[in-house]
Structure 1
Amino acid sequence: MRRYWLLSTFLLMMVVAKSQTLGGNAVFNFLKLPNSPQLTALGGVNITNQNNDISLAFNNPALLRDSMHTQMVAVFNSMPANIKNLHWMLGYHHAKLKTNFALGINYFTYGNITQTDNIGNVQGQFKPTDFVVQFMASRQYMEKWFYGMSFKFINSNYGVYRSNGIAFDVGVNYHDKEKLFQAGVVAKNMGTQLQRYTSTVKEELPFDLEIGISKKLARSPFQFSATLHHVHQFDIRYNDTTFLNENPFGGSVSEGKNTGDKIFRHFVLASQISIGKYLEITVAYNHLRRSELKIANAGNGLNGFSLGVGALLPKLNIRYARAYYQNNTAYNQLGINMPLNQYFSLGKFGERIHW
């Protein structure tokens, strides 16, 4: 039965991939932003990194494992222009069902913005927000296979313009603990708008089909990851037709590029170094981000690069990440992971639910 489920999953990924869009023509693009310091440090896209951080399962449900039972993650991210991002997630392993569950939320607030009419008369202020609430489940198949699914409720509130929708992710991972190797594939944001911003036609969600691998080196502190995103479409240069193919900072966003550049835009490369048991350092490079944020005839600085550091204490993991999105400008992200069952019990109720 599980074999048929896995086969159906791959077929579903291929069918949906042919009907999705890219670039500025999708709604709810905040879904593409990394939710945690771990993912930010890994370049913003990673579905196979080998560690026990439950926040990575928010982007690939197949990474949700029984070792993450009662693990909670809380993240705070401060961006320019008073934009704030909060993320929370909690995992639970149901022994009888042999299934891992998790619940999470990713919330963005963009500060107070002045509201005007079409000729500039001030009518007050509004506070735009975006959030996604996500329920995840995963199971193990045989010894080395894991599969999972996420269900999402998405909400966006921009004053008088409001929208919501539903979506789901499906992921499959292969993990060989002896060879310290993991590979995976995930189809993300398959769904639809329920309420539209306006009375126009429904807009598509930011679908992505990703594959990746990670490898730890035996008797070495290094782990390397390579992730390919948008594998369902070769040319992923920005394709918003309302942008008229012109870059306001100079040059054309659709100018000719060689085949090598188009291929490399799909790649996110990362390396993680474990220093003893209590410290990890991560560096990564995202070529698509560096290419899209480049200002013509100007230095590109560290755009596309990211780094992170983690303090892995026995009952508390603290992670910090820094990612560059503008020349010489970066944003910072801070998060904590903690196993709640090691801090407090729930008495008899906790015994019944195997807390």
Structure 2
Amino acid sequence: MQRILILILCWPLGLTAQSLGGNAIYNFLRMPANAQTAALGGVNISVPGKDLGMIFQNPALLRPDMQQQASVSFQALPGGIGQYGMVNAWHLSEAKTSIAAGLVYFNYGDLTQTDASGMVLGSFRPRDYAIQATASRQYKEHWWYGLTLRFIRSEYGQYRSSGLAADLGINFHDPATGWQAALTAKNMGTQLSTYTPGGPKEELPFDLQLGVTKKLLEAPVQFSLSFQQVNRFRNLYNDTSFRAGEGDDRYLQANGWQRFSGHLVLGAQFFLGDKIELSTGYHFQRRQELNGFGISNGLNGFSFGTALLLPRLQFRYATGFYQRNLFHQVSLQFRWKDE
């Protein structure tokens, strides 16, 4: 087991050069696949609990008590884009291993297909999807580790590509103190086929993430601090010519705080009894990048959510701003068979 933990900790160190230029493909994998993650700012790998959809963020969050449950999710994004997710879980008692199978699907609607001169040739329906299998196990009392293997497919008319990726994660959970911590290396893999035949392979959106969550023992509140893209020191998208053309010189050179805060995502949860949760999150990088063109409603980067937790059913809802548009994400989790 010690060798497995060392592998999980050290393997990402050899991959920190991936996607440094910000030109990675399959970026739909960065989107939160469940409502709880979306409500907590879009990035969270350290919140344990009963939400099966959290395994899209960290495979080590898969637990035995999630067996014989299924979770489905839908997100409506600006521009008529729809995101769908589903996952199903089982527990193998003899192997002391929890397993799950999941799917993430993006539908971009009908787009007009034209030639180079602009002549309309018809229409096409671009789509992205990923099929994954997850396994997790417990180590001693407070540690969990997990692995997700993922097949990726992207189709934009005649341009099609496929790839393979893996997520490795560990999670520390001590209920007695309320501390949780996690480390996840996400989207490690390769492109199997390129969008153009014979073209060079492109990089996947590798992301090394750290997370810490603290549940207060004397109050029904839980706080999370997540670090995304730890493998990239400069993770902000700053197109200097674009910003200068817009007359906004604040972004010509990102300062130290902007570079550091671009890695941070904050989250908080409030528990009203054992059946209702309220969540909120703040994504620093999202706020900086959406405050362009002088368009801002003051809430860019913020997200909010609520949850209703019943014995056999969980309902979660999340929303947030993309400049002047809202996104809406709903997750429904249910037990399909009694234990």
Q: Indicate the TM-score class for this superposition, using the shorter chain for normalisation.
A: over 0.9
Deviation of 1:51 after TM superposition, in Å, equals 1.5
- CA distances 1:106-127 after superposition (whole Å, capped 9, x unpaired): 0011111010000011111000
Gaps of 5+ in 1: 343-354
- Residue of structure 2 aligned with 1:329, choices 321, 325, 334: 325
- Residue of structure 2 aligned with 1:306, choices 299, 303, 306: 303
Q: Counterparts of 1:217 and 1:295 in 2: how far apart (Å)?
A: 37
- Residue of structure 1 aligned with 2:138, choices 137, 140, 154: 140
- Residue of structure 2 aligned with 1:338, choices 320, 334, 337: 334
Q: Counterparts of 2:293 and 2:139 in 1: how far apart (Å)?
A: 50
Specify the code of the residue in structure 2 equivalent to 1:333: Q
- Residue of structure 2 aligned with 1:295, choices 289, 292, 295: 292
Instruction: Map 1:1-355 onto structure 2 (within 5 A).
Output: 2-17=1-16, 19-22=17-20, 24-198=22-196, 199-238=198-237, 245-247=241-243, 249-251=246-248, 255-326=252-323, 328-342=324-338
- CA distances 1:66-101 after superposition (whole Å, capped 9, x unpaired): 111112101111222221111100111100000010
**Partner residue, 1:348:** none
Q: Counterparts of 2:328 and 2:228 in 1: how far apart (Å)?
A: 23
Specify the code of the residue in structure 2 equivalent to 1:203: E
Deviation of 1:255 after TM superposition, in Å, equals 1.6
TM-score (norm 1): 0.91
Q: CA 1:314 to 1:106, structure 2 compared with 1: closer, same or farther past 3 Å?
A: same
Q: Secondary structure at the match of 1:163?
A: strand
Q: CA 1:249 to 1:128, structure 2 compared with 1: closer, same or farther past 3 Å?
A: farther
CA contact 2:240–2:251 (8 Å) conserved in 1: no
Q: CA 1:71 to 1:253, structure 2 compared with 1: closer, same or farther past 3 Å?
A: farther
Specify the code of the residue in structure 2 equivalent to 1:330: L
Deviates more, 1:248-257 or 1:69-78: 248-257
Aligned pairs, number: 337
CA contact 2:142–2:173 (8 Å) conserved in 1: yes
4+ residue stretches of structure 1 with deviation over 6 A? none
Specify the code of the residue in structure 2 equivalent to 1:238: Y
Q: Secondary structure at the match of 1:89?
A: strand
- CA distances 1:139-194 after superposition (whole Å, capped 9, x unpaired): 00111111001000000000010001000010011111111110010000000111
CA contact 1:22–1:207 (8 Å) conserved in 2: no
Q: CA 1:180 to 1:36, structure 2 compared with 1: closer, same or farther past 3 Å?
A: same
CA contact 2:240–2:252 (8 Å) conserved in 1: no
Give the root-mean-square deviation of aligned CA atoms: 1.6
CA contact 2:35–2:316 (8 Å) conserved in 1: yes
CA contact 1:171–1:185 (8 Å) conserved in 2: yes
Q: Secondary structure at the match of 2:260?
A: helix
Q: Secondary structure at the match of 2:242?
A: coil
Q: Secondary structure at the match of 1:334?
A: strand
CA contact 2:147–2:169 (8 Å) conserved in 1: yes
Q: CA 1:251 to 1:188, structure 2 compared with 1: closer, same or farther past 3 Å?
A: same
CA contact 1:245–1:254 (8 Å) conserved in 2: no
Q: CA 1:261 to 1:24, structure 2 compared with 1: closer, same or farther past 3 Å?
A: closer
CA contact 1:23–1:237 (8 Å) conserved in 2: no
Deviates more, 1:94-103 or 1:198-207: 198-207
Q: Counterparts of 1:298 and 1:330 in 2: how far apart (Å)?
A: 14
Q: Secondary structure at the match of 2:337?
A: helix
Deviates more, 1:155-164 or 1:21-30: 21-30
Q: Counterparts of 1:165 and 1:197 in 2: how far apart (Å)?
A: 11
Deviation of 1:253 after TM superposition, in Å, equals 9.1
TM-score (norm 2): 0.95
Deviation of 1:340 after TM superposition, in Å, equals 1.3
CA contact 1:22–1:206 (8 Å) conserved in 2: no
Deviates more, 1:153-162 or 1:255-264: 255-264
